[in-house]
Amino acid sequence: MAIPRLNIFLLIQILSLFILGPKLSAQLSDKTVTIQAHNKSLAYIFNEISLQTGYLFTYNSGIIDKKVHKTIKIEGLSIEEALDSILQQPELAYVLIDKNIVIYKESKPPDISAKSKNTIITITGKVVDIKNKNPLEFASITLNNSNKGTLSNLQGEFRFSIPADIENPVLVVSMMGYDNLLYAINMESAKDLELMMTPRIISLQEVIIRYHNPELILNECIKRIPENYISQSFFMEAYFREFTLKDKEIMTFSEATLEIDKPSYANHIAQDKVRIVKGRKISNVNKGDSILIKIKSGIYSALELDIIRNPIDFLLTDFSRYYDLHFADIISYKDKLVYVIQFKQKQSINEVHFQGQLYIDINEMALLAADFEINPSLIGKESSMFFVKKNRNLKGRPLYAKYHIEYRKSEGKYHLNMAHGEVAFKFRKKSKWVSNVHKIVIELAVTDIDLEKDLSISRKELLKQGVILSDEFFPADPLFWSEYNIIVPEKELEEAVMRMGENWGMIGDGG
């Protein structure tokens, strides 16, 4: 069996946002606390409440004065009553999100007139590791009680636009191997935030391993796909970008916001339908370049990386024919425990397949993410699968093809959250000895979904298969992305785009 003929090259990530719910919660009345504390800090008192109730406290250290100490005596009060007694600061409020009590400083949204109710507030910042301050790429950022989201870029940077009339928004930041971070946003200072995430070490005491055999884990994951993923067609909003590099120089860059009519995960026949809302393209190619790489069907290729809806052989029931599996680890993701299963092509199989890691939720047995690549030792055998057209005077071979996919839970079911893929080649003219490395990157980030919205895409609006995004040109718009959620360009990419700025071309406007 030869490798499935993948029409995929690259993928993207998203961030999701959550809106603060009301302060009062019936859940906070379910448990009572008893505390006697003499001249103790608020951090000490919050820790005592956590020990008695299991709820964790999250707050920006800047809103709580560390010098303030309290003497209190609380007997049999609900958490809500205890907090009201302890805080006694009108500007401070709190909300329950899962098992976290988020304390925040109330801020009123800007005064929005009737003419400008659609005003957007843009939040910017960087996601980093709290210990070493290293940037965290592809962190998912979400807003409470909302399906909106975005992702951090390769340098940990993000930009997230939300309606200005949301009161006291809270960002929920998720990353493989880290505790969820809840961050209450002050609308008056929502720029250049540094969101620091804490690595989570899994203790043996908190792990109840239901399955030890990796084959059983993957079989159960495949079996539960119908119950874990959205079983109806739905509306999806996404950001897409694709770019090509020659050695380390940007040659082409295209990006677009999309509206997608997404079929049910149970329907493997119907196809995704896509409408480009807005897009643009820039090029650094000149007549002296001997090689021009264009990405055909980049958007649909990214959507095909939804491996739950378009299963590859390592997610089919006969996976054991082609792969050896290994139980690698248990990690934390979105405050859940996750199996890490490694898979590798059997040595007895001569055809080209894959290798990588699958991240499967311990309780729901849902696939949350996957990292995989075409077998690097055999990728040269299938070099023709990557080329639609190739000049006969060129010799080229693929160096690698790597992919990353993540899923997110909305309204009780999972769906594609982001996809990232990149393929690298080495090319040279047959008459030359000097070669260049060319890389193709495609990324798709889901920024919103709606299970109720009926998206009707006319035949005229429908993005056709085979479209080369970088071939479309329209007049430039300097405020192009002012109201859209995107993946922030990395520093090198932004500098390259600025150098090529006079060549911007717009791609449609579905507005």
Each residue of 77-103: pLDDT tens digit?
Answer: 888 888 887 877 766 777 777 677 777
Confidence of residue 388 (pLDDT cuts 50, 70, 90): low
Confidence of residue 12 (pLDDT cuts 50, 70, 90): very low
Angle (CA) 335 340 343, round 5°: 155
Residue 474 reports pLDDT greater than 50: no
Coil vs helix vs strand at 189: helix
pLDDT of res. 83? 82
Coil vs helix vs strand at 101: strand
Residue 419 reports pLDDT greater than 80: yes
Q: For residues 170 and 413, give the distance between their C-alpha atoms in angstroms, rounded to a whole number.
A: 22
pLDDT of res. 475? 46
Residue 201 DSSP class? P
Residue 290 reports pLDDT greater than 60: no
First-to-final CA distance of the chain: 46
CA proximity to 15, closest of 174, 242, 200: 174
Could you tell me the sign of the dihedral formed by the alpha carbons of 508, 259, 447, 406, in that order? Answer: negative
Query: In whole angstroms, how far apart are CA 373 and each of 370, 401, 404, 451, 501?
Result: 10, 6, 9, 32, 34
Q: Answer with the residue of higher pLDDT: 83 or 389.
A: 83
Percent pLDDT > 70 in the chain is 76
Q: Span 402-425, mean pLDDT?
A: 93
Q: For residues 274 and 457, give the distance between their C-alpha atoms in angstroms, rounded to a whole number.
A: 8
Residue 14 reports pLDDT greater than 60: no
Q: Answer with the residue of higher pLDDT: 396 or 418.
A: 418
pLDDT of res. 19? 34
* pLDDT tens track for 313-365: 999 999 999 999 999 888 888 878 899 999 999 999 988 899 999 999 999 99
Q: Span 25-37, mean pLDDT?
A: 73
Which range, 22-31, 98-107, 165-174, 443-452, is most confident?
A: 443-452
CA proximity to 294, closest of 278, 283, 304, 303: 283
pLDDT of res. 88? 72
pLDDT of res. 24? 42
Write down the mean pLDDT value for the chain.
Answer: 79
Strands, E, within 84-178: which ranges?
92-97, 100-105, 120-129, 140-143, 149-151, 157-163, 170-174
Residue 389 reports pLDDT greater than 90: no
Enumerate the H helices of 233-384 as residue ranges.
298-304
* pLDDT tens track for 174-228: 998 898 888 888 777 788 899 999 888 776 555 555 657 899 999 999 999 999 9
Output the DSSP codes for 355-420.
Answer: EEEEEEETTT--EEEEEEEE-TTTGGGGGGGG-S---TTEEEEEEEEEEEEEEEEETTEEEEEEEE
Say what the pTM is.
0.76
